[in-house]
Structure 1
Amino acid sequence: MMLIEESQLPDTALPVAALKRHLRLGSGFAEDDLQDVVLGSFLRAALAAVEARTGKALLVRNFVWTLGAWRDRDGVVLPVAPVQALISLRLTDREGVAQLIDLGEYRLEKDAHAPRLKPPGGLLPVIPAGGSAELRFAAGYAPQFDGLPPDLAQAVLLLAAHYYDYRAETALGQGCMPFGVTSLIARYRPLRVGFGS
């Protein structure tokens, strides 16, 4: 199984101005944009860290998920949430011959933590032996940072500010992620039930 983000977020999608306000950086100077590249890199790192901890895509973008077998042919849980739309499903055999599957026959069962690709009363198509299934989909809460749930947006800004403040620190600190960030994202983390969770 492999999940690939098909496109990177453009720099214009990063809330650099919001982070500057959060950090209370000065404005109105000739070199106002001097730290924009640095702030953008900390925002990318904070977005990635929050997404990794929650299993959620924050800003909408396209993903491609490739797998060699379905866990359950009655319906499969997608590896990231929230999924906004299914784009395409392609089966490829071991010789590389691809077959596009009509997604009109399938439905997306939306869920905050475990969205599913569901067949209508039947089973998902058989993946050829030695072949793969490739599902493309769009996932994320909002296309722009301003559309994120406020607690997730605040968590990203807090974490980016933390990275900015401790940018010269090379040793791992206690917990590595500030408590304020972990408490803001706690309700978005996947629920783990059972032994060893």
Structure 2
Amino acid sequence: MTYALIAPPAAMPVTLAQAKAHLRVTSDTEDDAISALVIAATQYLERDTGQALIDQTWRAYFDCPPDDCVLQLLRAPVRRIVAVTVYDGAGNPAVLDGSDYFVNLVTRPARLRLADGITASMRANGIEVDFEAGYGATGVDVPDMLKRAVLVLVAHWYEFRGVYDAADQPVSVPALYGRLTRHFRFLSV
């Protein structure tokens, strides 16, 4: 499966003011650098954990339904399904009605089960699932542990910004980051 970001988040989970307070920076001279670190830390955390911190829309591409017809959506938390499209062998799309699939947004990862008889005969990317994921529209809705993990990364990378070239980042990730994010990761068997 492949994922594509369709609509990015409109905000960051941590504001510039929060990051500056965490770093104990009072001047405005490094605002651009700190803002860039917040963006990089947020992107790192989201890729590393599969979490979507601020509301965003994703498209998941599946080649074909598995034997049990259950598709796992590996972004969390999934808030709602926007559309499910199935392609036939000629590449013609058919947008499924809500009665053609069942969704369990409580499980991690969220699961979408296609109704019996729904098939995708296109060989590659025969099923597209558009969905919204995120904790809310602003950082207020993001769990504090995840915001703290972003701030830990920002502080660590800010401290070592002169030692390593920007192209070498992230050079390291502090152990506290792993402890803060471990409960938000997808478990693999």
Same fold per superposition (TM over 0.5): yes
> In structure 1, what is the Cα distance between the partners aligned to 2:26 and 2:156?
18
Check if 1:87 corresponds to 2:77: no
Q: Normalising by the residue count of structure 2, what TM-score does the alignment of the two structures yield?
A: 0.85
Report the 3-state secondary structure (helix = DSSP H, G, I; strand = E; otherwise coil) of the residue aligned with 2:112.
Answer: strand
Please state if 1:48 is matched with 2:48. Answer: no
Kept in 1, the 8 Å contact 2:58–2:131? The answer is yes
Letter in 2 for 1:16: L
Between the aligned partners of 2:90 and 2:142, the Cα distance in structure 1 is: 43
**Cα pair distance change 1:164/1:94, threshold 3 Å:** farther
Correspondence for 2:30 among 16, 22, 35? 35
Runs of 4+ in 1 over 4 A off after TM superposition: 11-14
**Aligned residue in 1 for 2:158:** 164
The CA distance in 1 between the partners of 2:107 and 2:138, in whole Å, is 19
2:178 to 182, 191, 196: 182
Which letter does structure 2 place at the counterpart of 1:87? V
Report how far residue 14 of structure 1 moved. 5.1
Aligned residues: 185
Please give the root-mean-square deviation of Cα atoms over the aligned residues, in Å: 2.4
Q: Identity, % of aligned pairs?
A: 25
> 1 CA distance for matches of 2:117 and 2:103?
13
Partner of 1:25: 25
**How far does residue 59 in structure 1 lie from its aligned partner after superposition?**
1.4
Residue of structure 1 aligned with 2:123, choices 125, 130, 154: 130
Q: Which runs of 5+ in 1 are unaligned?
A: none
Structure 1 residue 95 displacement after superposition: 3.4
Which is further off, 55-64 or 159-168?
159-168
Aligned to 1:59: 54
Counterparts of 1:43 and 1:187, CA distance in 2 = 21
